[in-house]
A = this chain, B = another copy of it.
Amino acid sequence: MKLSTQKRTAILQAAKEAFLSQGFRSTSMDQVAELAQVSKRTVYNHFENKEALFRAVSVGLCAQAKTLPVIYCPHASLHEQLLEIAHQEVKVLTSKPYVAAFRALLVESFELPGIAEQIASEIPDDDSLKDWITAAAKDGQLNCPDTKQATTHFYTLIKGVFFWPVIIGFGTAPKGKERQRYLENTIAMFLGYYSAKD
């Protein structure tokens, strides 16, 4: 592997660690260079400036965060399937790297408006839940003319408890039995409204 590429990778890796553990502002380019075992000038040879480096790191981070798609299965219970999806989602949303990345990005998007859009535009959407709901609706198992709203309801109910409190650093996501209980009740409410019983 070319030396130049090795250095580039080292810089990205170092920047990722630094940004995630300390945030954008508190990370200096000197730090990144030292951590990457690279001269500062080399950092600037690969990335025009600090912001460009941050963008590159962010794109890499976002690309990682994907849930396993859960395929709609006409013969299994809706409740069980949604539970599986929910657990998947919670796992990703509460994972250390995801939370750290989201926070770092959030702070930056406050100070550099437009950066979020820039990064988002480079990342494909994750539509696995929406696809599942659409499939279930088509199969006649769900009664929701507005799949977008149903998707929103579902995500919202999960994120409100497992994601946002963690992001803002106010409390932690419920675990174990409590998590299970919340998810079951929530899915019961969701299906109470959306499942096609009649």
Alpha-carbon distance A23/B109, docked complex (angstroms): 12
The interface size bin for chain A is 20 to 34
CB of A12, distance to nearest CB on chain B (Å): 22
Closest Cβ of chain B to A102, distance in Å, is 9
A160 to B189, CA, bound (A): 16
Given A106-B168, A188-B193, A189-B190, check contact A153 B149 (CB 8 Å).
no
Q: How far is the CB of A175 from chain B (nearest CB, A)?
A: 16
Among candidates B111, B152, B168, B189, residue contacting A153 with C-beta atoms closer than 8 Å: B189
The residues of B that contact A161 with a CB separation of less than 8 Å are 152, 156
- B residues near A170, Cβ cutoff 8 Å: 116, 120
CB pair B169–A116 under 8 Å, yes or no, is yes
Extra A-B contacts (15), CB below 8 Å, given A188-B193, A192-B192: A25-B25, A25-B111, A26-B111, A109-B169, A116-B168, A120-B170, A149-B185, A152-B160, A155-B160, A156-B160, A156-B161, A159-B160, A160-B160, A189-B190, A192-B193
Whether A98 sits at the interface, judged by CB under 8 Å, is no
Residue of B nearest to A170 (CB): B116
The answer, yes or no, to whether A56 is at the interface (CB within 8 Å) is no
